[in-house]
Structure 1
Amino acid sequence: MALYRDKKDGKDLRIYENADELRGHLAEYIAEISEASIKERGVFTVALSGGSLINLMGKLCEAPYNKTVDWVKWHIFWADERVVAKSHADSNYKLAKDGLLSKVPIVHSHVHSINDTVTAEQAAEDYEFLIRQLVKTRVISVSEINDCPKFDLVLLGMGPDGHVASLFPNHPVLNEKSQWVTFITDSPKSPPERITFTFPVIYSASNVAIVVTGGSKAEAAHLAIDEVGPNCQEVPARMVGPMEGSLVWFMDIAAASKLEGVKFSE
């Protein structure tokens, strides 16, 4: 059970005593959405980010989930990716493969990674084309509101600056509306070249979870979740809000330590 759970301005906050407790509940949450999506549509489409997220998903590789989850119905995507070789240490694909995908029986052709042999611009175009094809074949649902792909679940981390996916503060791509996938060549975090889902795609998801641990993220979490003054910078994580779906924040105490009005049960 979460130490604290409440809805705050439409955000479902689930705060846990430590990262290990969070891992268990995150695995349960993902497994439940997977089961519901497969029952409804026959597939489960999930988009991942990098950073510490894959490690926090690690309980899915353990009992009971490694046996009870219908892994062959999963389709894996990336909400953002570094434009490096798949074998590179900075690759989100490599991180996910080593930490999760190689440990469960996911169908190889259902793992939809980027083309790592082209420019960032071409990689973004290729990835959007791939997604459009899978929308046409109804592997991915489509939003009736904006005709964007409607992923069953988008899993995001958050940086100390409040960025999600590769949508960084004050960057022009925050305002991209026409493309589903775009690219940047000037990421403030190395490596500089990346592809990323745009906000309209994130908004269209059936479920979005932002998973945050550690005290270095506490100030950004405060700016993303609490009511702040007009002179405060609006961090990208604050802009996340599904149009029809649900938004859940999974946090540990350290990440939640600066939230206003949050009192932990004894």
Structure 2
Amino acid sequence: MAHHPPNAPILISSPDTDTLLGQLATFVVRAQTEAIDKKGKFTLALSGGSLPANLRRLIGHDGVKWEKWHVYYVDERVVPLDNPDSNHGSCHKHLFSQVPIPESQVYTIDTTLLDNLEELADDYETKLIREFAAKDSARYPVFDLILLGMGPDGHTASLFPGHELLNENDRWVAYIENSPKPPPKRITLTYLVINHAARVAFVATGKEKQDILKAVLDDPASDLPAARVKPYYPGQLYWFVDDAAAAKAEYVRTPFQM
């Protein structure tokens, strides 16, 4: 049986979405429990898209300690929080409005700065500095878990193929004015933050993701944005996918340990 080299991505493929969501919930709770046992809190960064709805199995889960969660956004659209395009709006609708997480521990963009992208990005970076650099004396934020999605073009967060932000190596939070996917104005965590996380997990489902998932997992030289997510050791990358998305990938699957 083939084995992964150390720190290689772990691919967990489920026969259907329902099984996947149950395994994802178990995985998140395990990451949470380990973090709380170690330092008394759980730091998480979330994407938008279909991800908030894919976390619905956490609602009512008796292992979740919501009062210990500190949630940030991997990227955010530069729109009011109640706008249908807002990642926070989606997360609030599908998850946070239904669970007892303290509102002060969900870190949103400052909507008074929507007209100034540079100030908006700087302000969000300051939020990270307050939570991580000030408290943990860390050079970079080290999230306990970052949850990502992947578009059919291989983009993740608001990091798009061929865009100059892929090579940003200074800022923790950067802004984009010309996103190829609407809305055009966004802020996003950079690889400096994403790749310093203790765990990063992608969630990808559906046959429309077959070709791009194969490209990301089977080509070690792939330069697609999702393929550039490579957590520094001892960080670990996971892919939670359904069999439909994984149908063309030759990458070795790892059974999920319940």
Q: Same fold (TM over 0.5)?
A: yes
Work out whether residues 220 and 235 of structure 1, in 8 Å CA contact, stay in contact via their aligned partners in 2.
Answer: no
Question: Counterparts of 2:51 and 2:253 in 1: how far apart (Å)?
Answer: 25
Task: State which of 208, 230, 237 in structure 2 corresponds to 1:241.
Answer: 230
Shift of 1:94: 0.5
> Secondary structure of the residue that 1:237 maps to in structure 2?
helix
Task: State which of 140, 158, 174 in structure 1 corresponds to 2:150.
Answer: 158
Decide whether aligned partners of structure 1 residues 142 and 78 sit closer, same or farther in structure 2, where only a CA change above 3 A counts. Answer: farther
Task: Structure 2 unaligned segments of length 5 or more: list them.
Answer: none
Q: Specify the alignment match of 1:19 in structure 2.
A: 17
Question: Counterparts of 1:103 and 1:116 in 2: how far apart (Å)?
Answer: 23
Decide whether aligned partners of structure 1 residues 177 and 264 sit closer, same or farther in structure 2, where only a CA change above 3 A counts. Answer: closer
Counterpart mapping for 1:77-226 below 5 A: 77-118=72-113, 119-138=116-135, 141=136, 147-226=139-218
Shift of 1:255: 1.0
Shift of 1:223: 1.2
Decide whether aligned partners of structure 1 residues 46 and 26 sit closer, same or farther in structure 2, where only a CA change above 3 A counts. Answer: same
Q: Specify the alignment match of 2:30 in structure 1.
A: 32
Shift of 1:133: 1.2
Q: Which moved more, 1:5-14 or 1:26-35?
A: 5-14
Question: Counterparts of 2:111 and 2:253 in 1: how far apart (Å)?
Answer: 46
Question: Counterparts of 1:213 and 1:135 in 2: how far apart (Å)?
Answer: 32
Which has the higher relative contact order, 1 or 2, with Cα contacts under 8 A spaced 6 or more apart? 2
Q: Specify the alignment match of 1:43 in structure 2.
A: 41
Question: Counterparts of 2:46 and 2:110 in 1: how far apart (Å)?
Answer: 16
Post-superposition CA distance 1:233-253 (Å, at most 9, x none): 621111111102111000011
Matched residue type, 1:253 = D
Question: Counterparts of 2:164 and 2:15 in 1: how far apart (Å)?
Answer: 37
Does residue 56 of structure 2 align to residue 74 of structure 1?
A: no
Question: Counterparts of 2:41 and 2:16 in 1: how far apart (Å)?
Answer: 32
Question: Counterparts of 2:111 and 2:151 in 1: how far apart (Å)?
Answer: 24
Q: Specify the alignment match of 1:251 in structure 2.
A: 241
Work out whether residues 217 and 249 of structure 2, in 8 Å CA contact, stay in contact via their aligned partners in 1.
Answer: yes
Backbone CA RMSD of aligned residues? 2.0
User: Could you tell me the TM-score, scaled by structure 2's length?
Assistant: 0.92
Question: Counterparts of 2:254 and 2:72 in 1: how far apart (Å)?
Answer: 35
